């Protein structure tokens, strides 16, 4: 049996077995479940099918660790985060290989995940030094009034499989940097890269027991773990990255439990190409935005809106570009399009494309699968009734639509229920900036595409794409303000 950090080469006949991490201990479980390699369909690891009792112990451990962690001086927290970044960097090749094997992630996106994780840890190392409050003038003579931030307590993180490693770090690092402790529940599709790898690295970096805890669960068994999070008073916030459908369930539950929740959800992200754009650049931007990580990124471009004078040239070039993207084993150098995460995802994506074509859409590229990999697909003339017209399809599928002018593009961009990321390609940055201000989206990149993440920048959605912003801006979500006054002398009370 191999455990923790021992990654046999592919093909070696060894299945790793993992444990959960609770209160600084690696704890086993009566039942394990199979963690599958999405490209091969083989078992890559066996992972604890954790229970509500495990979640309860994890919350206990996080609550016990909270007072000391909250009080730990910033310099000591800083040293821990910096050491963790060094460990991630040292284990880069192993993490990239794991992401391919567990999540079908090709090298380009895996490298991006590792790089962004190290940058996040190094940025967050300094967040302990951000100002924690304000002095506000009081109208009461002799009163000195302050608004001081303090951590919430235990933050429960629920992480997804798609950007497994970087999003798991984001789920816990932001809360921890502001003095909270954490329980992480990773996706059942990526319990190692989005879960158990995190405390393994943090333990090596020297984080105290209980500060981070990870509970895993069998497929479809998230709810008992979430029940514990919602029922426990020590858990003050749910930090979730995932689909809008699940986000809505969690927000409803958080409302009933009067807990905070931070939600980074889905998007139907538009890329607008104006007539004055450099068409070759716009094609590169669109191919990347739509097909990087097989379109399984919340910020992936779902619709490209192109001004008519350049529409045909742009589409001809984009169709050729899409057809040339390398499809196959994510562990091979040069692969861009790896497998979708599981058979259900492949069925869903191909079903939605078929539905659109049956309803009258024109297929310009792709539309079929190579094994578990869905080929880069471009559709046009998609009727409004087809799901793909305005709902996120979590795969390499781009809808193209010509527009008469920038106003029409902005109106279409704003017509969905989502508002996560948008890109707008134009030769005129000034005009692009003015248009960006009219797009209802948490992120707009002018003269760039939709997929970007830098840990210090406030990524987050409007409308059904979520609540809250990542980075230092998350201090608002992961701390609360206390109004404290001190009074010189004695006051007069009018009764
Ligand atoms: P996807 O369908 O792409 O896996 P989800 O939003 O369902 O996206 O999954 C994101 C995370 O949410 C995963 O960790 C998953 O286990 C978790 N999850 C799914 N449903 C629930 C639920 N009802 N309560 C709590 N967590 C859930």
411 Cα: distance to centroid of ligand 1 (angstroms): 31
Q: What is the pTM of this model?
A: 0.96
pLDDT given for residue 13 in this prediction: 55
266 Cα: distance to centroid of ligand 1 (angstroms): 12
- Token pair recorded at residue 402: 């010509």
187 Cα: distance to centroid of ligand 1 (angstroms): 7
483 Cα: distance to centroid of ligand 1 (angstroms): 36
226 within ligand 1 shell (Cβ under 6 A): yes
Among candidates 2, 21, 14, which has minimal Cα distance to 200? 21
pLDDT given for residue 491 in this prediction: 83
Rounded Cα gap, residues 418 and 401, in angstroms: 18
How far CA 151 is from CA of 76, 82, 181, 459, in Å, comes to 17, 21, 9, 21
Q: How are beta strands 421-425 and 443-446 bridged, if at all?
A: parallel
User: Catalytic: 204?
Assistant: no
Rounded Cα gap, residues 385 and 388, in angstroms: 9
How far CA 58 is from CA of 49, 216, 412, in Å, comes to 14, 11, 46
Question: Would you give the distance in Å from CA 484 to the centre of its chain?
Answer: 36
Question: Among the options 264, 307, 352, 392, which is catalytic?
Answer: 264
How far CA 38 is from CA of 104, 114, 341, 342, 488, in Å, comes to 6, 20, 6, 6, 67
251 within ligand 1 shell (Cβ under 6 A): no
Rounded Cα gap, residues 72 and 280, in angstroms: 52
222 within ligand 1 shell (Cβ under 6 A): yes
264 within ligand 1 shell (Cβ under 6 A): no
- Token pair recorded at residue 492: 């007069």
User: Catalytic: 480?
Assistant: no
pLDDT given for residue 8 in this prediction: 44
Give the nearest ligand 1 atom to 189 CA.
4
What is the residue-level pLDDT of the chain in tens, covering all 495 positions? 344 444 444 445 579 999 999 999 999 899 999 999 999 999 999 999 999 999 999 999 999 999 999 999 999 999 999 999 999 999 999 999 999 999 999 999 999 999 999 999 999 999 999 999 999 999 999 999 999 999 999 999 999 999 999 999 999 999 999 999 999 999 999 999 999 999 999 999 999 999 999 999 999 999 999 999 999 999 999 999 999 999 999 999 999 999 999 999 999 999 999 999 999 999 999 999 999 999 999 999 999 999 999 999 999 999 999 999 999 999 999 999 999 999 999 999 999 999 999 999 999 999 999 999 999 999 999 999 999 999 999 999 999 999 999 999 999 999 999 999 999 999 999 999 999 999 999 999 999 999 999 999 999 999 999 999 999 999 999 999 999 999 999 988 999
Neighbours of 428 (CB within 10 A): 14
252 within ligand 1 shell (Cβ under 6 A): no
Question: Among the options 237, 261, 298, 373, which is catalytic?
Answer: 298
C-beta separation of 60 from 229 below 8 A:
no
250 Cα: distance to centroid of ligand 1 (angstroms): 10
135 within ligand 1 shell (Cβ under 6 A): no
450: left (phi > 0), else alpha (psi -120 to 50), else beta? alpha
């Amino acid at each position: 049996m191999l455990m923790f950090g021992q990654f046999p080469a592919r093909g070696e006949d060894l299945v790793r077995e993992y444990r959960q991490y609770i209160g600084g201990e690696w704890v086993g479980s009566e039942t394990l479940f199979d963690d599958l390699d999405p490209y091969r369909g083989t078992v890559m690891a066996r992972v604890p099918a954790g229970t509500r009792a495990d979640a309860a112990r994890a919350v206990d451990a996080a609550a016990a660790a909270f007072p000391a962690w909250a009080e730990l001086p910033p310099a000591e927290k800083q040293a821990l985060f910096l050491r963790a970044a060094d460990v991630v960097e040292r284990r880069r090749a192993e993490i990239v290989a794991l992401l391919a094997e567990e999540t079908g992630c090709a090298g380009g996106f895996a490298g991006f995940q590792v790089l962004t994780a190290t940058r996040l840890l190094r940025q967050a190392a300094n967040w302990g030094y951000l100002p924690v409050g304000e002095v506000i003038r009081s109208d009461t003579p002799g009163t000195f009034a302050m608004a001081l931030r303090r951590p919430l307590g235990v933050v429960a993180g629920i992480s997804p499989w798609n950007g497994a490693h970087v999003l798991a770090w984001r789920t816990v690092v932001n809360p921890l940097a502001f003095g909270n402790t954490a329980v992480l529940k990773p996706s059942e599709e990526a319990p190692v890269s989005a879960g158990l790898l995190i405390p393994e690295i943090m333990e090596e970096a020297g984080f105290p027991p209980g500060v981070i805890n990870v509970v895993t669960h069998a497929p479809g068994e998230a709810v008992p773990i979430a029940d514990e999070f919602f029922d426990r008073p020590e858990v003050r916030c749910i930090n979730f990255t995932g689909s809008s459908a699940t986000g809505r369930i969690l927000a409803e539950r958080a409302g009933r439990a009067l807990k905070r929740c931070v939600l980074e959800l889905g998007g139907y992200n538009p890329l607008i190409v104006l007539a004055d754009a450099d068409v070759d650049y716009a094609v590169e931007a669109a191919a990347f935005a739509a097909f990087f990580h097989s379109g399984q990124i919340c910020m992936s471009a779902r619709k490209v809106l192109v001004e008519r004078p350049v529409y045909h040239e742009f589409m001809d070039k984009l169709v050729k570009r899409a057809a040339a993207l390398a499809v196959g084993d994510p562990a091979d150098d040069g692969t861009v399009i790896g497998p979708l995460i599981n058979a259900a995802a492949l069925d869903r994506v191909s079903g939605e494309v078929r539905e659109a074509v049956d309803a009258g859409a024109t297929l310009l590229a792709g539309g079929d699968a190579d094994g578990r990999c869905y080929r880069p697909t471009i559709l046009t003339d998609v009727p409004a009734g087809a799901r793909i017209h305005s709902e996120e399809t979590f795969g390499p599928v781009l809808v193209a639509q010509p527009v008469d002018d920038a106003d029409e593009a902005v109106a279409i961009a704003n017509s969905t229920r989502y508002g996560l990321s948008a890109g707008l390609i134009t030769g005129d940055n000034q005009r692009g900036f003015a248009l960006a201000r009219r797009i209802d989206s948490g992120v707009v990149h002018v003269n760039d595409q939709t997929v970007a993440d830098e840990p210090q920048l406030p990524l987050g959605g409007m409308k059904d794409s979520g609540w809250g912003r990542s980075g230092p801006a998350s201090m608002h979500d992961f701390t609360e303000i206390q109004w404290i006054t001190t009074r010189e002398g004695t006051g007069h009370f009018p009764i």
